[in-house]
Amino acid sequence: MTVIPPGEIGPPEPVTYDWPALVDDLNRLLRLKTTPIGMKLFGTVAEMEAIPKIRRPQAIHTADQVVAQAARLGWTVGATAEDLSGAQCGAVLGLHPRDEQWLSGRAMTGVWFETLEDSAAHQSAMDTVPFGRYEAFAVSPLTSGRLDPPDICLVYATPGQMIILINGLQWSGYRKFDWSVVGESSCADSWGRALATGQPSLSIPCFAERRYGGVLDEELLMAMPPRFLPKAIAGMQRLAANGLRYPIPQYGIQSDARAGLGVSYGGR
């Protein structure tokens, strides 16, 4: 399903995941306030509807709302393009084509962008799943194990929590992460990019995600294929052993920093 650039394969895919244990580790290390969830794409609607205890939307929603029902309410929810409020949501998940109308950006001109050219440039910049492979998607708390495994895991966190998560990913096999911001429709920066590339993808959730998806003012969103989750946790555990953990205690802006630095770096 994912298209992974050469040289960016990342950690191997485990045979099985202990989801309760992984989420327990995440909550212990980061003290998350929002439920970590999974997202999975399905080639047919029937495959999606076969997920145990799955709910179907009873109204037209944005994709942000569907995701929020898993992250904020703990539900397992499946949807198709027909359940979504428009082409913008569907295209990110590969459920609607990036056709001429969508790429034109006409619907966003004068709302989010000054000119039609600006709107079209925004649409072209979005990371999306290729159209034609999938008919549906589902989201569910990771601890439910119902999407075993999901295509990606979604972790909502504050900036302080998020930098520790990123540091955990970088503990071993260091790499610099380069992320982008499309502005509105920033779900393309998180789950769109992670689904399309198979790489961890950070976003600043946009207006729509906060207005319709219940994303809190202080939250960022990390989307990553599940194989990166054990790596991040192992890295955070090693960092915690070095005294580099969340919550990050403030040392004082007028204190002599040498004593605090000495705890972490010793005589280095």
Strand arrangement of the beta sheet that strand 37-42 belongs to: 77-80, 136-141, 37-42, 152-157, 220-224, 201-203
| pLDDT value of position 263 | 82
Environment class of 77 (CB within 10 Å of its CB; exposed 0-12, middle 13-18, buried 19+): buried
The structure tokens listed for 204 are 């600043």
Prior bond of 247 cis (ω within 30°)? yes
Question: Over pLDDT 70: what percentage of the chain?
Answer: 95
Looking at residue 77, what DSSP letter applies? E
Question: Over pLDDT 90: what percentage of the chain?
Answer: 86
* pLDDT tens per residue across span 138-162: 999 999 999 999 999 999 999 999 9
Encoded amino acid at 144, one letter: S
Please state the pTM of the whole predicted model.
0.93
| pLDDT value of position 5 | 45
**What's the CA gap between 136 and 131, in Å, rounded?**
12
* pLDDT tens per residue across span 49-105: 999 999 999 999 999 999 999 999 999 999 999 999 989 999 999 999 999 999 999
| pLDDT value of position 265 | 83
**What's the CA gap between 22 and 232, in Å, rounded?**
10
Q: Kind of pairing, strands 152-157 and 136-141?
A: unpaired
The upper half-sphere exposure of residue 27, i.e. CA atoms within 13 Å in the direction of its Cβ, equals: 13
Average pLDDT, the chain: 94
Average pLDDT over residues 167-179: 97
What ranges do the domains of the chain cover?
19-248
Average pLDDT over residues 247-262: 89
User: Which of 10-14, 237-241, 252-256 is predicted most confidently?
Assistant: 237-241
- Kindly report the backbone phi and psi dihedral angles of residue 55, in degrees, each rounded to the nearest multiple of 5, phi listed first: -105, 150
Query: In a 3-state reduction of DSSP, which class is residue 162?
Result: helix
Query: In a 3-state reduction of DSSP, which class is residue 19?
Result: helix
Cβ neighbours of residue 113 closer than 8 Å, sequence gap 6 or more: 105, 119, 122
- Kindly report the backbone phi and psi dihedral angles of residue 191, in degrees, each rounded to the nearest multiple of 5, phi listed first: -70, -30
* pLDDT tens per residue across span 224-238: 999 999 999 999 999
Encoded amino acid at 179, one letter: W
**What's the CA gap between 182 and 43, in Å, rounded?**
28
| pLDDT value of position 14 | 67
